[in-house]
Amino acid sequence: MIAPMGNFALQALMREAAVTLDRSRCVRHRCTANACTRCIDVCPTDSFTWTKGGLQINPDTCTQCLSCLSVCPTAALASPGLSLPQVLADLAQHRLPVLGCKGQPGSDAHVRISCLGYLAHPELMTILALVFPEGLQLNLTACDECPNGHILDGIVTAHGRLHGSVSNHAVKLIRDKKDLEYAAATLSRRQFFLLFQERTNRAAVTMVKRLQDNIEQKTYGKKQIPEIRALLLKAMSASTAARKESIKEQQFGKITFTSDCCHSERCVGVCPTGAIRSSRMSNSPPVFDQTLCTSCFSCQAFCRNRGVVLSDNSQIPLVTKREQGL
Ligand code: SF4
């Protein structure tokens, strides 16, 4: 017999999860030697805790700032209903697109996500710069008054890093309303899209179509690169060799096998993305593919001999509670 469900249990089931966790992709769940605390450190409301049962998220205290998504190296965290390819496609329908947030519905925006804190992810910011070479405005005009205003530092940092890898990009952070160029769409989406295709920013439409077309998330067994990395690699494929190299050097991790490497290839198994693969030779270190490395540190943490060293080029902006004075 099924016991009657109390109101509290029912409410708990019905409560919408602000952020979801896929434990099979969380590096700390996958590799016990990896003491990754990025989501715990970045969350301003202490909504993450590490317990005997693993990582827990408290949906009651989460304010959906999405900062945790921007620092997770393997995209183990997700925001239900947020589809990056769809966001890009919707933005590409506007001549001078404006991205805003759902938390401030009074602000001007063509497309909204639950919080712009998601954009603190350097790879995501780079995708925006590559896909919208003719311009994209991020509407941050209401952030100063918003309870999630702490996200600004991460966004400014990720945006600042763009100058090194995508010179002459046209992604603008709009902090003052008078700087915003916003034209509300008066046509239907279909009409606007047809008009848009005829006369304007073809580059963005073409790029988005290419990105949506068969996003190649390389998989090796249970290994998978995050969707953001898959999209970035695709967006980079249309870039010059120099730009590709610059993005790779500035944003992707790089590992070195030291003379202490015993060639046991245990790191091959622990790498969640397939960035390290067997050399199939007993006296050689494994083969490393920098384009797949997301700087999760698992290989370095797992190697007992200190045979692997990671140079974390990603410099994912970790805004810790300590730094925020919380
Ligand atoms: S190579 Fe190392 S740091 Fe890079 S994704 Fe694989 S396990 Fe993580």
All structural domains of the chain: 15-78 (3.30.70.20), 84-212 (no CATH), 252-315 (3.30.70.20)
Share of the chain above pLDDT 70, in %: 79
> What is 110-169 written as a DSSP string?
SEEES-GGGGG-HHHHHHHHHH-TT-EEEE-TTGGGSTTTTHHHHHHHHHHHHHHHSTT-
Question: Is the model's pLDDT at 321 over the cut of 50?
Answer: no
The rounded distance, in Å, linking the Cα atoms of 251 and 245 is 10
Average pLDDT over the chain, rounded to an integer: 83
* pLDDT score of 195: 54
- Distance between Cα 85 and ligand 1 center (Å): 25
Is residue 296 within 6 Å of ligand 1 at its C-beta?
yes
Model-wide pTM > 0.95: no
Is residue 310 within 6 Å of ligand 1 at its C-beta?
yes
| Chain position carrying tokens 């010179």 | 167
- Distance between Cα 314 and ligand 1 center (Å): 12
* 3-class secondary structure, 90: helix
Is residue 154 within 6 Å of ligand 1 at its C-beta?
no
Q: Which residue has the higher pLDDT, 116 or 195?
A: 116
State the amino acid at position 111 in one-letter form: V
Percent helix, strand, coil in the chain, to 5, is: 35, 15, 50
Q: Which residue has the higher pLDDT, 274 or 205?
A: 274
- Distance between Cα 29 and ligand 1 center (Å): 15
- Distance between Cα 61 and ligand 1 center (Å): 32
Is residue 74 within 6 Å of ligand 1 at its C-beta?
no
